Amino acid sequence: MPEVAAVRRRTRTTLLVGQVLGSLGIGAAPSVGVLLAASVAHSDTWAGVARAGSTVGAALLALPLAALAARRGRGRALALGWWLAAAGAGLLVLAAVTGSVALLILGMLGMGGGAAAQLQARFAATDLAEPAHRARSLALVVWVGTFGAVLGPNMGVPGEALAARVGLPPLSGAFVLAAALLVVTGTVVLAGLRPDPLRLAQRHTAAEPGPAAHHRSAGLGAALRLVRAAPTGRFALLALVLAHVSMVSVMTMTPVHLSHHGDTVTVIGLAISLHVLGMFALAPVVGAAADRFGRVPVIVVGQGVLAAAAVVGALGAGSTAAVAVALTLLGLGWSVVTVPASALLSQSVPAPARPLVQGLGDTAMNAAAALGAIMSGPLMALLGFPALAALGGAVVVPVLWLVWRGAHRVPASA
């Protein structure tokens, strides 16, 4: 339909612009935010709490933002997420000025709104996508996150110059820039997603049978019931969560392992950059493959890549080059699982229920990421990096077991 095609193009452009700007805005949190947490908290315990704040915030906000999208549309939900992140960046500036740990934690929680919006934007790309192209539409939005993931951590350099110019603490300048970028991101998304793609899709999608039509504004319990009622949804959710746990757990402790191995900050930074490229660079290829060959076959390939990362990391833990290869494979495996599993989760339930179930997926992913980040340190201290890498590969077992048993019951076209 001409109306739908025009809105589809406008939606895609808006989401891509928003992802670039927004990912730059929240990209400072994992790097500059860590340094700010250490300088303000003067305590490893509180600094650790603050570092996990953005992940926890994303987990807490994912489902409410999804429920808002179901009621009021994607534009308002995504804009609110980006604006909450802008408020969080502002609180981080105040934390740097006042030395307040409470403001530091609140600010990092607020930044989680941007992470939640960034994740939900990939689902917004599928609202009006043609069924045969849903995975590649989702993957394109994931792919443009590369810009923020690579450039965002470098916001500290212009931030220091800005802070010196206006008389703020050095580490706060990056978050002044972030706040401005995030305000603009929310405004662009709200203005550009009109008419709203989700509401337009709901109007033009024929009524679908199933138990989900009246759950648009329900909460976590309703979302869980919907997923339990859909075998493909259960399978996709498990694949998403386990891939994310594997990626976050190993990635979090790799810099520490390389540092203990005697590598420089430059070498560690290069290894992390390769990991980020593995996560995002091939996402469009993965999306196209998922559309052509099916979601489940591509998810199975992703399990193989995750297993390869575990083998290389466990056997080559003493080699910097081998660890870098393992980290790159880990990022690639995450991408090869996450893109098709996200598309499969969306298509596993009737259209009116999709925002709620998508929010559940993001909540579960971020909660698992927080748990994985917390547990990875003690596990490496107790068992060593090779064992941590091997445990990261063990996540493929339940997914492959479900595939072998056929428990997902995916149609041949999926």
Q: Which two tokens stand for residue 85?
A: 């992140």
226 and 196 in a common domain: no
Q: Which helix (H) or strand (E) holds 400?
A: helix 396-405
> Domain with 154 in it: what CATH number?
1.20.1250.20
User: Is residue 210, in this structure, part of any structural domain at all?
Assistant: no
260 and 146 in a common domain: no
pLDDT of residue 397: 96
User: Is residue 208, in this structure, part of any structural domain at all?
Assistant: no
CA triple 288-291-294, angle to 5 deg: 125
pLDDT of residue 372: 82
188 and 44 in a common domain: yes
pLDDT of residue 309: 97
Other beta carbons within 10 angstroms of residue 136's beta carbon come to 25
237 and 193 in a common domain: no
Cβ neighbors of 187 (< 8 A, separation 6 or more) are 79
368 and 333 in a common domain: yes
Domain finish residue from 203, 228, 257: 203
137 and 31 in a common domain: yes
Q: Which residue has the tokens 């997923």?
A: 227
Cα–Cα dist 344/331, whole Å: 20
Q: Which two tokens stand for residue 103?
A: 């403001």
User: Is residue 177, in this structure, part of any structural domain at all?
Assistant: yes
Domain finish residue from 203, 225, 245: 203
pLDDT of residue 37: 79
198 and 239 in a common domain: no
pLDDT of residue 288: 93
Q: Which two tokens stand for residue 5?
A: 């095609």
pLDDT of residue 201: 82
90 and 2 in a common domain: yes
Quick check: 311 and 393 in contact, CB under 8 A?
yes
User: Is residue 209, in this structure, part of any structural domain at all?
Assistant: no
CA triple 49-50-53, angle to 5 deg: 90
pLDDT of residue 218: 52
**CA-closest candidate to residue 39, choices 122, 98, 110, 114:** 98
Cα–Cα dist 304/312, whole Å: 12
132 and 164 in a common domain: yes
pLDDT of residue 122: 87
User: Is residue 174, in this structure, part of any structural domain at all?
Assistant: yes
Quick check: 124 and 197 in contact, CB under 8 A?
yes
For 154-185, give the DSSP string: GGHHHHHHHHHHHT--GGGHHHHHHHHHHHHH
Q: Which domain holds residue 328?
A: 215-414
The model carries a pTM of: 0.81
97 and 12 in a common domain: yes
371 and 236 in a common domain: yes
Work out how many domains the chain is built from and give that number.
Answer: 2
Burial class, 221, CB count within 10 angstroms (exposed 0-12 / middle 13-18 / buried 19+): exposed
285 and 182 in a common domain: no
Domain finish residue from 171, 203, 235: 203
User: Is residue 120, in this structure, part of any structural domain at all?
Assistant: yes
> Alpha helices of 193-319 — where are they, by DSSP H?
197-204, 220-228, 231-260, 265-280, 283-293, 295-315
Q: Which two tokens stand for residue 139?
A: 């993957």
User: Is residue 68, in this structure, part of any structural domain at all?
Assistant: yes
Q: Per-block average pLDDT, block size 10, for the chain (414 residues)?
A: 82 93 84 75 66 83 90 94 97 94 92 92 87 86 80 76 89 92 97 90 58 48 78 92 91 82 76 85 93 94 97 94 95 95 88 83 86 82 91 94 74 49
Cα–Cα dist 167/173, whole Å: 10
Q: Which two tokens stand for residue 310?
A: 């575990």
**Residue 119: how many CA atoms within 13 Å on its side-chain side?**
27
